[in-house]
Structure 1
């Protein structure tokens, strides 16, 4: 550094170093030597979410629909699916903590990231792998979250059709799209955090009702079959399990809204522990009692009654609330691209309404919950949950100090055991992702699946 140059460090409270000398040139602790507002320190922010609230959002994001499909995923994978659920949950949780560390590394090296960001996942990808990495990550996130919205519409429509059969599944898809439309105009998750509490409670009640009814229905199920999985069925089971743990693409947004982002690991431990406690009992119980005949929505396999009706209504409300959380990053990403102001305005209404219309149209075209679930679970969810986080974290950790770093920061090293584990996650996930995606596409392109399209039914009715 030239001896006459001045180095300003964020958070220095007005301390300026010139060469080897240091002096205080500002008495305002909120301003640096140049009169600029000092950014919050690494991981710190005011008026954000606590780790408990962030943990609630994390749980809500994952359990919106995943627990309903998990028994079918276990049936596809066979009994090996039980340790697979635990292994997937633990590995995704570990990858999620590394994703959080990646953001903290960026805050440490580039203080501009210490302010709220609209696309934190994509920002991490760009710093790790450049603009190409950002574009690939953006495509995967959008595909995943839009896929969630499509799957939610189909799932809600199927449950409501079983309660009110006078309206078809296709009709209910349109109705739920209209209901969800005004809820998409919220700003960020911190604007509507109380809904996550209700969503988690509703999910817990729904799971309890399902478990009780499953054991009541034991006499109704005979000759259960537990066949060994084939390559195709195991691949579909793997994608179903990944769908159940999906939501990693939303997690950086949750961390970004935290008051102390260094506490993210606590949210992850809390969230994944709760999710496993919810998932394992219902998946194992349903598979033991019903066997291979279990469907992609366990609520459709238990006897009807007032308790089941209440459970369906609660889960529909839960899905509507979860849709708000999953929809938000999609909307913010497109608003950033089209430079829509970060406030309620007519441009926000038009853009977000267009996304809702697109999701509803695809849901009408392929109204098969299992097919959509397997496709996004085996493809982009696997990439965003298993492959990108370890690779981005290792890339950022391995970076050498260079002139692009805006402040002085220490170089980092990764323990050998951790690097081996991260590479194992990447390799296994890549193999599983390829086989799962191919299997899911085979199912979607099957004539029976395509023939169930709402548009095909409309053409038949018209003729």
Structure 2
């Protein structure tokens, strides 16, 4: 991703591809879901767009879903389906919002734009909205890439005892550092294929090995959730389905952006078909004994080790791609030239150092995952998309703009999504912070070994 000097520039997600949505309105007017079919253009098809959306969601999130069900109880299974549908609807709204921008400001948005999520926020909510969206996405990327480092260290430590998890954090920090100095990644479709492939392999291995290694235990417990545990489970599920901020970026690369709604349905159905069986099997067979990382709950046979190595490779590639837009956004803010230079190296190295320090202070990926999932992921995936969509549709400042309307049922549904996001997000964030500040969490810190 790159940034520009316009007031609406910011940061896009880690992906370099895109997606679109809707149906063609009649007589030039646009209904709530209808989008004007664009002129013929080069780009990717809606099935390929679904694949890229799945690649954005597939990854580290599924590893914590069995623990999420342990935190929520079996109510978490239908909640997973509900949140999947809610975030999917928010993604459809984002797609329509982008087409509205193309209709109203074709001179600015007629061609591919690199920061469409921030542009939507700017046009719907002004400069304050753009800043909120910008920092929401930036903090999500920082939290997500920090989780990747912890996960890689934890998974490597599980298959080799050569170093401790804390020491592996330092190794991966040093290994990844020079790759963060690179410029903008171009056409990383290989990384998307790798991400989806690695996640499919890991999900299949976990699902099969859960049944192969399972021994009947009459004492398996399924504890009732508390408000605190339920909130943390909510965060984990949201993190797994997060990534809505990248949807308009993917949509921008489509041949027919009016078909984005099909891509959203395909992508989310794909994610749900991977996530739900693993989460249900993990919690159902292991109960309260399930670990925060399900890959560490199925033994260490050769096939499991292969899945772990595959997931580590996936995380390495995902980290590099995810870090890049964040680095370019900070360079834009600090007026650092968009070329390889000492200032770029210093700035990006500083960010990696901060992430490594966070990993050493909180070497539990679940704690950070819950914090990010409950706060910035909820804001960018649940709260902002419906609000931006409704603001754009309701804006009738220019009588030449195509008329749009939102049916009452859809408006109610969108406000319910916003309300759930606000209540669930605030509650989850509060309990995630409490969990991080718990003395037991500090006892797990890598710095605890150095205290007198």
In structure 2, what is the equivalent of residue 170 of structure 1? Answer: 166
Farther-moved stretch of structure 1 (148-157 vs 445-454): 445-454
Moved over 6 A (4+): none
Shift of 1:412: 1.3
Farther-moved stretch of structure 1 (237-246 vs 251-260): 251-260
Residues in 1 aligned to 2:357 and 2:291: alpha-carbon distance in whole angstroms: 24
Residues in 1 aligned to 2:94 and 2:219: alpha-carbon distance in whole angstroms: 46
Greater relative CO, 1 or 2 (CA 8 Å, sep 6+): 2
Q: Which runs of 5+ in 2 are unaligned?
A: 1-35
Residues in 1 aligned to 2:331 and 2:72: alpha-carbon distance in whole angstroms: 40
Structure 2 counterparts to residues 32-51 of structure 1, below 5 A:
48-51=43-46
Shift of 1:249: 2.3
- Give the number of aligned pairs: 416
Is structure 2 residue 238 aligned with structure 1 residue 246?
no
Q: Is the 8 A contact 1:119 1:333 kept in 2?
A: no
Q: Is the 8 A contact 1:145 1:330 kept in 2?
A: yes
Residues in 2 aligned to 1:253 and 1:363: alpha-carbon distance in whole angstroms: 29
In structure 2, what is the equivalent of residue 384 of structure 1? Answer: 380
Shift of 1:59: 1.4
Q: Is the 8 A contact 1:42 1:107 kept in 2?
A: no
Q: Which string of whole-angstrom CA distances, capped at 9 and with x for unpartnered residues, describes residues 228-263 of structure 1? A: 211111111111111111112232322234344333
Residues in 1 aligned to 2:182 and 2:116: alpha-carbon distance in whole angstroms: 18
Structure 2 counterparts to residues 270-289 of structure 1, below 5 A:
270-289=266-285
Question: TM-score normalized by structure 2?
Answer: 0.86
In structure 2, what is the equivalent of residue 454 of structure 1? Answer: 446
Relative distance call for 1:145 and 1:301 in structure 2 (3 A) is: same
Is structure 2 residue 222 aligned with structure 1 residue 226?
yes
Name the SS of the counterpart of 1:367 in structure 2: coil
In structure 2, what is the equivalent of residue 323 of structure 1? Answer: 319
Q: Is the 8 A contact 2:159 2:300 kept in 1?
A: no
In structure 2, what is the equivalent of residue 16 of structure 1? Answer: none
Shift of 1:432: 0.8
In structure 1, what is the equivalent of residue 364 of structure 2? Answer: 368
Relative distance call for 1:256 and 1:342 in structure 2 (3 A) is: farther
In structure 2, what is the equivalent of residue 440 of structure 1? Answer: 432
Q: Which runs of 5+ in 1 are unaligned?
A: 1-40
Residues in 1 aligned to 2:361 and 2:38: alpha-carbon distance in whole angstroms: 44
Is structure 2 residue 390 aligned with structure 1 residue 394?
yes
Farther-moved stretch of structure 1 (174-183 vs 143-152): 174-183
Relative distance call for 1:263 and 1:272 in structure 2 (3 A) is: same
In structure 1, what is the equivalent of residue 422 of structure 2? Answer: 430
Relative distance call for 1:143 and 1:173 in structure 2 (3 A) is: same
Q: Which string of whole-angstrom CA distances, capped at 9 and with x for unpartnered residues, describes residues 406-438 of structure 1? A: xx4213111111111101111112111111111
Shift of 1:292: 1.5
Is structure 2 residue 51 aligned with structure 1 residue 56?
yes
Question: C-alpha root-mean-square deviation of aligned residues, in Å?
Answer: 2.2
Question: TM-score normalized by structure 1?
Answer: 0.84
Is structure 2 residue 76 aligned with structure 1 residue 84?
no
Bigger Rg, which one? 1
